[in-house]
Amino acid sequence: MSADATRWAWALLCVGLWLSLWLLPWRQRQRQRQRIRPTRGSDAPPLLVAFASQSGEGAQWAERTARLLAAQGRAVRLLPLDRVQAAELDRAGEVLLIASTTGAGDAPDNAAGFETRLMRTPHAWPQLRYGLLARGDRSYAHFCAFGQRLDAWLRASGATPAFERMEVDGDDRLMLNRWLREAARLAGAEDPAPSAPDAPEAVDAGEEAAPAALSAPQPWRLLQRQVLNAGSPGAPVHHLVLQPLETGVQWQAGDVARLHLPAQNGEPAAWREYSLASLPREDPESPDSRAEFLLREVRRPDGSRGRGSGWLCHALPLGGTVQLQLRRNPGFHAPEPEVPLVLIGNGTGLAGLVAHIQQREHASKAGRRVGPIWLLHGERSRAFDTHWRAKLQTWRAQGLLHRLDQAFSRDADAHARYVQDLIAPAAQRLHHWVADGAALYVCGQRQGMAQGVDDALAQVLGREALDALQAAGRYRRDLY
Ligand SMILES: Cc1cc2nc3c(=O)[nH]c(=O)nc-3n(C[C@H](O)[C@H](O)[C@H](O)COP(=O)(O)OP(=O)(O)OC[C@H]3O[C@@H](n4cnc5c(N)ncnc54)[C@H](O)[C@@H]3O)c2cc1C
Ligand SMILES: Cc1cc2nc3c(=O)[nH]c(=O)nc-3n(C[C@H](O)[C@H](O)[C@H](O)COP(=O)(O)O)c2cc1C
C-alpha cells in the first residue's frame, strides 16, 4: 500500500471511530427516550393490572409489569383481583391479569371472592381486551387451573384476548420478558421492547432484582426428632430440628422449607413443603442456626406411610442429611410488630404461627414496641396434643402472648370441638381486636379448618368486612 493510501485508510478509520463513539451514546439516549416516551396521551385512563397470588410471586410479577408500564408513561392501577368490581370491567377497554393457582387447582385467597362473586355467570364485555398470564407448577395435577378458568370466563363474557393465554411454570425469565413485551403492546407502547426482547437482562434493566423466591438447595443435618403427642388419638406429631451445614441462611416468619425426598422404591425424587416454626439466629454466619418443624405422620388409605412424613419421621437417621430449599412466602409475612395479631390454626399449623410469635419476641428484645398476640389453636386432646406447652406458657407469662384459646375435638368434656368453634363465642373480643387494627393470620389444614374458620369469621365480622380485611392484607392464610 502507498503512503497516501495508508494515510487515507487511517483517516477513514479515525472518522469511523469518532462516529461510532458519538453515535453509540446518541442511540442509547434515543432508546431511553423511546422507552419512557408517554405511549398514549397522558389522558389515557389508567390501565388495570390485576393479580391473584397466594405466596406473593405473582404479585411481584404484577408489580414489575405495572412499573414497566408506568415507566413507559401509561397510568396504571394495580389491584388484587378481589378488589376488582364488575363496574370497573364494564368501563375498561383493556386489562392485564396475572393469575396463580394454589391448593388443588384453587384460586388464591386474594381472588377467591372474585371467583365466587363474579365468575359464576358470564358478563357482557365485548369492548374488553385482555392479556392473561397464568402461573402454576406442572408437578400439581391441575396445572394453572385458576388461570384457565379465568380465561374461559372472560371469553364467555365476550372479552377478546389480545394474545393467547401464557402459562408459566416457576420463575421463567424468558416467559416473563415475553409477557412484559405483550403487556407493553396491549398498553399501547409504540415500541414495546426497544432492547433485545428475549434477553434475560431485559427484565432487570434499571430495576433492583427482587429476592429469589427459592434458595438454592443446601444440605441440612437432622439434629433432633421427638414425638410430641405419644398416646394421642391422632396421628403422631414429630418435632424436628435441622441444622444447615452451610452458613448464611436467612428466612423470616411465614417462610416455608422445601425438603427433598430421594428417589426410593421405584418412586422418583420429590419435594415436600413444611412451615418453618423458628427463626434463624440473628447472626446469619452463626454456625448454630437451626430450623424447627412440626410434622404430622400421614397414612395413606392403604395403610402405608406418607412418602415425605414417613421418610422424615422414620427413615432419615439422626445426623443424616437432607437437601433443603427456603421458599419466601411474602403472602404470610408479618405485619409491623406493633400491629395486634390474631393467630388461628389447627394441628401442625401451629408451626407457622409460632414463628410469628418468635419474630415478635425478637422485635421486643430489639426494643421495638410490639402489639398483643391472641392465639387460637385446635387439636385432638388436651392431655396429649398441647404441643410446645412450655414455650406457649413462657410467652403467656412474658405477656407476649396476650391470650391463648384451645379447642380439642376428641375430649369427652370438650366445650368447643374445633378451632372455628372458638370464634363465635369470642365475637365481642374479636370485634375489639379488629377495631384496634389487628391482622388475622390462619395456618394449617385447607380442608375443613380453613373453610370453617373463614365462615365463622364472616359470621362474626360480616363477609364484606372480612373481604376488606383480606384486600388490606389484614387477613392472610397459609394452608395445605
Ligand atoms: C405450604 C405448606 C406448608 C406445610 N406445612 C406442614 C407442616 O408444618 N407440617 C406438616 O406435617 N405438613 C405440612 N405440610 C404438608 C406436607 O407438605 C405434606 O403434604 C405432608 O407431610 C404429607 O406428605 P407425605 O409425603 O407424607 O404424604 P403423601 O405420600 O404425599 O400422601 C398424602 C396423601 O396423598 C394421598 N396419596 C398420595 N400418594 C398416594 C398413593 N401412592 N397411594 C394412595 N394415596 C396416596 C393420600 O391420600 C395421602 O393421605 C405443608 C404443606 C404446604 C403446601
Ligand atoms: C400449597 C400449594 C398448592 C399449589 N397448587 C397448585 C395447583 O393446583 N396447580 C398449579 O398449577 N400450581 C400449584 N401450585 C404452584 C403455584 O401456583 C406456584 O408455586 C406459584 O409460583 C405460586 O405463585 P404465587 O406466589 O403468586 O401464589 C401450588 C403451590 C402451593 C404452595
Q: What is the 3-state secondary structure (H, E, C) of 268-324?
A: CCEEEEEECCCCCCCCCCCCCCCEEEEEECCECCCCCECHHHHHHHHHCCCCCEEEE
| Residue 45 pLDDT class (50, 70, 90 cuts) | confident
Question: Interior CA angle at 185 toward 182 and 189, to 5°?
Answer: 145
| Residue 14 pLDDT class (50, 70, 90 cuts) | very low
- Taking the CA of residue 295 as reference, the ligand 1 atom at the shortest distance is 11
What local confidence, expressed as pLDDT, does residue 200 receive?
Answer: 36
Q: Take atom 19 of ligand 1 and give the residue whose Cα is closest.
A: 272
Q: For the residues 146-165, what does the mean pLDDT come to? A: 98
Burial (CB count within 10 angstroms: exposed 0-12, middle 13-18, buried 19+), residue 471 = middle
Least confident of 50-59, 206-215, 264-273, 462-471: 206-215
Q: Percent of the chain having pLDDT more than 90?
A: 71
What separation in Å is there between the alpha carbon of 308 and the centre of ligand 1?
7
Could you tell me whether strands 47-52 and 94-100 are parallel, antiparallel, or unpaired per DSSP bridges? parallel
In a 3-state reduction of DSSP, which class is residue 215?
A: coil
Burial (CB count within 10 angstroms: exposed 0-12, middle 13-18, buried 19+), residue 207 = exposed
- Taking the CA of residue 143 as reference, the ligand 2 atom at the shortest distance is 11
Q: What is the pLDDT of residues 290-332, one digit of tens each?
A: 999 999 999 999 999 999 999 999 999 999 999 999 998 988 9
What separation in Å is there between the alpha carbon of 48 and the centre of ligand 1?
38
* 93/86 Cα distance (integer angstroms): 13
The residue to mutate among 49, 63, 97, 102, having the most atoms of ligand 2 within 8 angstroms of its beta carbon, is 102
Q: Take atom 11 of ligand 1 and give the residue whose Cα is closest.
A: 295
Least confident of 229-233, 372-376, 426-430, 470-474: 470-474
Checking if the pLDDT of 170 tops 90, the result is: no
Could you tell me whether strands 256-261 and 321-327 are parallel, antiparallel, or unpaired per DSSP bridges? antiparallel
- Taking the CA of residue 273 as reference, the ligand 2 atom at the shortest distance is 31
- Ligand 1 contact, 298 CB (< 6 A): yes
What local confidence, expressed as pLDDT, does residue 6 receive?
Answer: 55
- Taking the CA of residue 256 as reference, the ligand 2 atom at the shortest distance is 31
- Ligand 2 contact, 57 CB (< 6 A): yes
Residues 6+ apart with CB under 8 A from 201: none
- Ligand 2 contact, 103 CB (< 6 A): yes
What angle, 0 to 180 degrees and rounded to 10, lies between the N-to-C axes of helices 451-461 and 463-471?
110
Q: Are 243 and 223 in contact (CB under 8 A)?
A: yes
Residue 107 DSSP class: P
Residue 53 DSSP class: -
Q: For the residues 420-436, what does the mean pLDDT come to? A: 98
- Ligand 2 contact, 145 CB (< 6 A): yes
- Which ligand approaches the C-alpha of residue 294 most closely? 1
The more confident residue out of 196 and 164 is: 164
Which of 61, 351, 32 lies closest to 179, judged by CA? 61
> 275 to each of 153, 222, 256, 258, 279, how far by Cα in Å?
34, 16, 5, 9, 11
Q: Percent of the chain having pLDDT more than 70?
A: 85
C-alpha cell at 249: 441462611
- Phi, psi dihedral angles at 425 (to 5 degrees): -65, -20
| Residue 25 pLDDT class (50, 70, 90 cuts) | very low
Q: Which helix (H) or strand (E) holds 32?
A: helix 3-36
* 71/52 Cα distance (integer angstroms): 23
- Ligand 2 contact, 381 CB (< 6 A): no
CB atoms inside a 10 Å sphere around CB 436: 11
Could you tell me whether strands 129-136 and 160-161 are parallel, antiparallel, or unpaired per DSSP bridges? parallel
> 60 to each of 57, 212, 329, 472, how far by Cα in Å?
5, 11, 12, 16
- Which ligand approaches the C-alpha of residue 331 most closely? 2
The residue to mutate among 271, 272, 333, having the most atoms of ligand 1 within 8 angstroms of its beta carbon, is 272
Strands (E), 307-445: 321-327, 341-346, 373-379, 401-408, 439-444
- Phi, psi dihedral angles at 78 (to 5 degrees): -105, 120
Q: For the residues 423-446, what does the mean pLDDT come to? A: 97
What local confidence, expressed as pLDDT, does residue 13 receive?
Answer: 53
C-alpha cell at 322: 437432607
Average pLDDT of every residue of the chain = 87
- Ligand 1 contact, 295 CB (< 6 A): yes
Residues 6+ apart with CB under 8 A from 69: 47, 49, 76, 183, 184, 187, 189
- Ligand 1 contact, 301 CB (< 6 A): yes
In a 3-state reduction of DSSP, which class is residue 114?
A: helix
Side-chain half-sphere exposure of 393, counting CA atoms within 13 A = 5
The pTM assigned to this predicted structure is 0.78
What local confidence, expressed as pLDDT, does residue 202 receive?
Answer: 44
